[in-house]
Amino acid sequence: MAERIRRRAEHLLPEEQAAGSDDTEMQAASILADSDAREEYVESTPDLRIDHRRSEETVDP
């Protein structure tokens, strides 16, 4: 996990850099935590959200 945070801190997007931070690793950790939470979130009304599925999840093999 620490390596993932370090790599993300080294490659902040321009808008993330513009936001400014005294601790880029803490900023990266926060960005990654938000991203992970969004991936894990299951919408109760799927028609309000775009699902990202793999082909094996949508058709019979």
Instruction: Give, for all 61 residues of the chain, the pLDDT tens digit.
Output: 899 999 999 999 999 999 888 999 999 999 999 989 888 876 666 566 666 677 777 766 5
- Give the CB-side neighbour count of residue 58, counting CA atoms within 13 A: 5
Q: For residue 10, give the amino acid letter.
A: E
Reported pTM: 0.62
Helix (H) or strand (E) holding 27: helix 24-40
- Cα-atom radius of gyration of the chain, to the nearest Å? 16
Please report the pLDDT score of residue 43 as a whole number: 66
